[in-house]
Amino acid sequence: MKYYGQRRQVVLAGRRMAGLALAVGTWGNLSCRLPGELLAITPSGMDYKSLHPRDIVLLDLAGNCRQGRRKPSTEQPLHRAIYAAREDVKAIVHTHSIYASAFAAARQPIPGGMEDLVQIVGGPVRVAEYALPGSPELGRQVVTALAGRNGALLANHGVIGVGASLEQALLICQIIEKSAQIAIAAQALGGACPLSQADIDFMRDYYLHGYGQR
């Protein structure tokens, strides 16, 4: 099977996403970029616990199926739009986590009030303008909201995390969910105090160029 290893990574990341309660049932979707302008994406409407590498569909950036017998996620136009616009993105995770989705439903950005959030996402989490799920317009709106960011909210819908790997994209979704929960809890104390843009820029630069084992 072509790209078995990458397909298996998508399966394992999907199971982890479900295990973390970042999505319920068959909602949410994941993909990773492959050589030759291809992507491997989860199928539509299948339980993450039942997925096997053979169920992961290979598409090109025009949306043509290159390998796989399953129907791809209905959000494949969103994934294709992001890959086409962002060469740095190697993986995408789309979740429907509760607290971040509350901000999405309110069409309110998640403030840049937590250090780990601004480090890994790049600043406050913007909300993409509403567009119907599965539509090309949704892809365009999300690409705009992701400018200079590794995560965004989809109005009345959910969360998107993008990164250099499935592990990183999933972590971004976790950090966004945690930050949303903190922001909502902070309202009882008068609201989260946002970090200054200078501090955000400093921490983002350090995260990208100095954090961790290089």
In the block, tokens 């630069």 appear at 205
Residue 70 and residue 57 in contact, taking contact as beta carbons nearer than 8 Å: yes
Cα distance between residue 16 and residue 10, in whole Å: 10
HSE value, Cβ hemisphere, 13 Å, CA-based, for 4? 1
Active site residue 37: no
Residue 54 has a CB neighbour count (10 Å cut-off) of: 14
Tell whether the torsion through CA atoms of 104, 106, 108 and 112 is positive or negative. Answer: negative
Per annotation, catalytic residue among 75, 87, 115, 167: 75
List the catalytic residues: 75
